[in-house]
Amino acid sequence: MQKQVVFPAFLGESEMAVVVVIPSIKEDMADIFDRFHSGEEVDYWFSWDLVLTDTGEYLVVLEVDWAQGDGLIVAFTTEMWEFLVLMVQKENLVIMADWNVLEEGAPTLVSEEEFKPYALLIRDVHTGLDKLYDQVKELVSVNDGIEELSNLQLLLEGTNNQNITLH
């Protein structure tokens, strides 16, 4: 199975999490949102990776999977990499499929009787960034002079003073 790669339409932060809005996933992830809304506990897992596109662009990707579903791959371009540091600081990532929560505000919507957010909370989102760091460090050592990789390595090293330990 080939998964669809999606790019955030918006990245921001709240007091407790980095917020990523991807409206295109609302329909694709309707099954998991329905499961959440019905009260079902859905186990999901995630991993971080660095990929090189056909056009020579490096993307940091977050792959999220769950049983009985297609999963999701969120791609972060070089312009979005600074949010990795915020993710380590906040420790949580919220992937939202609906602009309404941002536009109308969560407190307003929560007061409504049938509030059903189209959102996926990933706790401890920094888990696995050490493996991404190792991957980047190895690529930098064999591809000296690729500025994107060097910048990503420095960025990830900056997270070393935060909540994760890099080798």
Name the pLDDT band for 110 (thresholds 50, 70, 90). very low
**Whole-prediction pTM value?**
0.84
pLDDT single digits (tens) 54-95: 999 999 999 999 887 788 999 999 999 999 999 999 999 999
Q: Where are the domains of the chain?
A: 5-161
CB atoms within 10 A of CB 85: 16
Closest CA to 5 of 56, 53, 42, 43: 53
CA distance 141 to 76: 23
Which of 39-43, 67-71, 127-131 reaches the highest mean pLDDT?
Answer: 127-131
Which of 49-58, 90-99, 141-150, 156-165 reaches the highest mean pLDDT?
Answer: 49-58
pLDDT single digits (tens) 111-124: 555 657 788 889 99
CA distance 5 to 66: 16
pLDDT of res. 113: 56
Closest CA to 132 of 77, 52, 80, 62: 62
pLDDT of res. 91: 94
With 0-12 / 13-18 / 19 or more C-beta atoms within 10 angstroms meaning exposed / middle / buried, residue 135 is middle
Q: Does residue 107 register a pLDDT over 70?
A: no
Name the pLDDT band for 139 (thresholds 50, 70, 90). very high
What the block records as the tokens of 163 is 């909540």
Residue with tokens 């596109």: 53
